[in-house]
Amino acid sequence: MNRIKTKKKENIVQVLRRMYLLIAIIPMIVMTIITAVFYVNSLIDSTKQNLQTVLNLYADNIDGTISQGIKVIDIVQNDLSVQNALRVSRFEEKEEYYIQRTTINTTMMLINQNYGNTLDGIYILLDDGRCFKSSVFPYNKEKYSQQQWYKDIRDTQGIQGNGFYKYSRVIANPGKEGYISIGEPIINYRNGEIVGVILVEINLNTFSEMLSKTVTTQDLNVSITEEDGTPVWQYDLGEIRKKGNILKTHLDESIHRELSNGWEISMTTNWFNKIKTEVLNTLTILFILIIMVTFASIYFGRRFADTINHPLKQLQDGMNRNREIWRGEYIAVETEYHELDDLNEGVNDLISKVNQMFEEVKNKERAMRKVQFSALQA
């Protein structure tokens, strides 16, 4: 007789535990992934917003410095002692020129201290060769009126900005490198003639100091360019990126803003470096949470499976006892589930009916024996 092939049977306890674990873990993993994605996106957005805030603050500081330079130029242009000096170009005695130079230099030093602490120097350079400065450093002994930058400023109407150059154009100060300047023609108000230029120099270390006070983060590249794209200044707070690093290039975030003088300031950062600590901490917490949920699911899965397995085991043991030697014992099952109670009642009803059948068979056997016994006596 051919046996009916059946699928491999599984233990109900193991199935219940596995299903309970899956029901608990899968939603947890899905929610963890969704939460992590939203959290990372929020961190990226927050990083970009913070970067924009830093850029705006830093750009405002630079604009403030440039505005101070323009304000100082206007103050020098309208200073009475300066205008008096422009009207006197010949001196009978050399001491008169020294007095004039000392007076103007002192005036510009006070102006620099009062209005432009971020400015490196203020200079008046005249066509007749006279020079005045707010700095204590000596002149570099160049003929300024013959320099192209001098001619460019003199021939320009209004303020002219000059991009990066290495050393000061007026004084000899080898201890400082990297300058930008703001210049304007100086006018003798008496006759309306241009007689020279006013030059304000800003050392780029000032921008670096502003940046260090504004920014506390690392891995930040800041650059300033002129309107035509000519580099003015660049500063890198982080590691120098290797060319061809596609990942870093892809993860870089750059934002830009135009300064008041037409230059553009840019900030570039790697947003992953900004959020990796928070992401790793979050992932660690989520991983620990998943482990805790897993162990909790295993524990409660066992408890849940036992609440079903225990009454089923009681039914199974009772049926096995009756199957080996029919005793007609009713099975008592402890359970919290109505379905298992119904099953227990059904099994006990079945046992009751079987007991009745056995009783009927016994009664018939007794009746038959009586008939046989009566027949033998007859």
Q: What is the CATH number of the domain that holds 98?
A: 3.30.450.20
Look up residue 62 and give its amino acid.
I
18 contacts: CB under 8 Å, gap ≥ 6: 301
Answer yes or no: is 189 within a domain.
yes
Q: What range does the domain containing 232 cover?
A: 26-241+250-270
Q: Which of 266, 255, 268, 258 is nearest to 221 (CA)?
A: 268
Please check whether residue 51 lies inside any domain of the structure. yes
Contact 19, 302 (CB under 8 A): no
Burial of 89 (0-12, 13-18, 19+ CB in 10 A): middle
Distance CA 361, CA 221 (A): 100
pLDDT in tens, 160-177: 877 778 889 999 888 888
Structural domain count, the chain: 1
Residue 9 lies in a domain: no
Q: How far apart are CA 226 and CA 290, in angstroms?
A: 53
User: pTM of the prediction?
Assistant: 0.61
Per-residue pLDDT of the chain (378 residues; tens, 9 = 90+): 444 455 565 566 676 667 767 777 777 778 878 887 888 788 778 877 888 888 888 888 888 888 888 889 999 999 888 898 888 777 667 788 788 889 999 988 988 888 656 888 999 999 988 899 998 889 987 889 899 999 999 998 888 877 778 889 999 888 888 888 889 999 999 888 999 999 999 888 888 778 777 766 556 788 888 888 888 777 765 543 344 333 344 456 778 888 887 888 888 877 666 677 777 787 788 788 878 877 777 777 777 777 777 777 777 777 777 666 666 676 777 777 677 777 777 777 877 888 788 788 888 888 888 877 777 776
What residues have CB less than 8 Å from 65, skipping those under 6 apart?
A: 118, 119, 202, 206, 207, 210
Amino acid (1-letter code) at residue 362: K
Do the domain assignments include residue 131? Answer: yes
